Amino acid sequence: MKRIRLTVAYDGTGYHGWQIQDNAVTVEEVLAKALFALLGKSVELIGASRTDAGVHALGNVAVFDTETRIPPEKIAIALNRFLPEDIRVLKSEETPFDFHPRYCDSEKTYEYRIVNTPIQIPLLQRYSHHVYHDLNVSDMQRAAKMLMGTHDFSAFCSAGSQVKSKVRTIYELDIRQNPIVSVNGGREIVLRVRGNGFLYNMVRIIAGTLIEVGIGRRSADSVEEAVRTGERSKAGPTAPAQGLVLVGIEYR
């Protein structure tokens, strides 16, 4: 018996998130079916991040135990033959049995992509959120600084979360911009956030809040107040799923 760790990338557009559920196609379900087709028996698959409906991944992590004789590093290629093009296993490797993708200490990196142009560009639409108001990136960067470090992020968590502690640490919250070469000009603004864990919808609420700061609908200082009070109503809306990518997970 071996424990295999998979690095999984997907275009989340067509999926109701990672986790298996009734009456909706999920990434975990499609991956479990491909594993069944490859191995001839069903396995218990444990995913690191239960990404929401429509959220994308470049490096989600999942493990399963198997007695297959396929060499661990060949499983990725073999498995991809049973997967649709919008899900790819980028890497497969053997990992110790005490490795659990959710309970082991990790750092997760997400990116949230905003296309800030008068009119959305169809080739960017699928993986970004379009904002036509001209965003003030310096204000967004100033507000982002207030979210860095260890805080109770209750104000940045959707209802329905059952975690005990809402204290998390953000190590990095970087906002960069790249010009878009098109007839209308404009730019792509990428929020990159790295932390030791994220609450339900946390990155999307951070994105929604910083966009409101960028538009001028709220001050940079209001972000500090949201953190301090822990009131969800003091933070901004949950930005749409399609702009979010789980870039990767690093284990210590």
Binding mask 61-100 for its own copies (x = CB under 8 A): ---------------xx--x----xxxxxxx---------
139 carries an active-site annotation:
no
Q: At what angle do helices 221-229 and 202-215 cross, to 10 degrees?
A: 150
- Regarding 165 and contact with its own copies (CB under 8 A), the answer is no
CB of 10 to its own copies, least distance (A): 5
Binding mask 185-224 for its own copies (x = CB under 8 A): ----------------------------------------
- Regarding 239 and contact with its own copies (CB under 8 A), the answer is no
Residue 28 has a CB neighbour count (10 Å cut-off) of 21
CB of 235 to its own copies, least distance (A): 28
Strands 2-10 vs 56-66: parallel, antiparallel or unpaired = antiparallel
Contact between residue 87 and residue 27 where contact means Cβ atoms under 8 Å apart: yes
Outline where the chain has alpha helix (H).
Answer: 27-39, 75-80, 122-125, 137-145, 202-215, 221-229
- Regarding 56 and contact with its own copies (CB under 8 A), the answer is yes
Task: Give the distance, in angstroms, between the CA of residue 95 and the centroid of all CA atoms in the same chain.
Answer: 23
Kindly list the residues in this chain that would bind its own copies in the complex (CB under 8 A).
Answer: 7, 9-11, 56, 58-59, 76-77, 80, 85-91, 119-123, 125-127, 181-184, 245, 247-248
